[in-house]
Structure 1
Amino acid sequence: MVYKKNTMEGSLFEPTLYLVKGMCIMDNDGNRILAKYYDPDILNNTKDQKAFEKNLFNKTHRANAEIIMLDGLTCVYKNNVDLYFYVMGSSHENELILQSVLNALYESVSILLRRNVEKRILLDNLDAVMLAFDEICDGGVILDSDPTSIVSRAALRTEDVPLGEQTVAQVFFNIMNK
């Protein structure tokens, strides 16, 4: 639980589970591949989100740090080959918690993509990565930070495609592997 200090009264707010304000994956040009924002009070429209992401990328793509304060948000990030992974929280959020969410996101994607964390492969498996986003965080509440359990739940959900919506190759693959 995180206690938020009220600067007006000097007292503590009630504990909250809403720690994550957003998660985002961008390519090495700063273009959004996947993003989810959980706080409607900040970045509540696509135009604001794109402007924030552009600014965030410009501040982080050459830096060697892992954390930045930007527009009142604490942002932790990691890059690999041609992708940048970001997790955002409020300015008073614990960076270690945000870093654990970032590590869970990156490791889950790494496992899902069989250690080939590159833009082309991520785009080919975007559905599974989107499910991993949902398994990590729901509405700003951290659900899980164990990459193995995240991947196992995301993989189970991707296998539940109705027979009529599967390609012939998927049906053949499922038959051969049972």
Structure 2
Amino acid sequence: MYGIDLYNYQQRANIKHNEVNNILVYCYDHLFKPDKGLMNNQKSLIDYDSIEQLSAVVNAFLRICLLFNKSLGLMSFCMFSGIDDNTVIRWSGPDGKELNPARWELLKSIKEYNKALLISNLKDSPVGALAVANNDTETGLNWSANQAQQITNNTVYLIPSERVNRLNLEKLEN
């Protein structure tokens, strides 16, 4: 049983981003897409004023991210929920924190989850490590400090040959 679960996890981990996006669109079509004529000019059945409902949708989205071990951003959340991307950008912006802190915190949780997932996968890709380190000052400082410590611990210091000769002469003279 454990071997089957491990195999299924590896299968899910190898799924491509566009396939995960297809899954998100499928979820939207079957969960959040309104029927024709039911609502005018709305793309989603989600009540934007209900923080509990938004929280449940964000948690479902994060579970999908966790299931496939993919870092999906706010635009993928828009595909999943049907919430207009301009609305999500407005909610997650600096004005969004003042207008509705609860919505802002929910969207911040998506960003923090993605950041944590990227940081946890740093060891898998040196290019990814550099990208995250360059875009995030805290991670960059920690990453740089760890790299500098590894370099000082593992480096054989090369001394120029002129200096070696001079040191040898000083030893002979003393």
After TM superposition, the score normalised by the length of structure 2 is 0.28
The structure with higher relative contact order (CA 8 Å, sep 6+) is: 1
Bigger CA radius of gyration: 2
- Bigger share in helix: 2
Task: Give the strand-richer structure, 1 or 2.
Answer: 1
Q: Tell me the TM-score normalized by structure 1.
A: 0.28
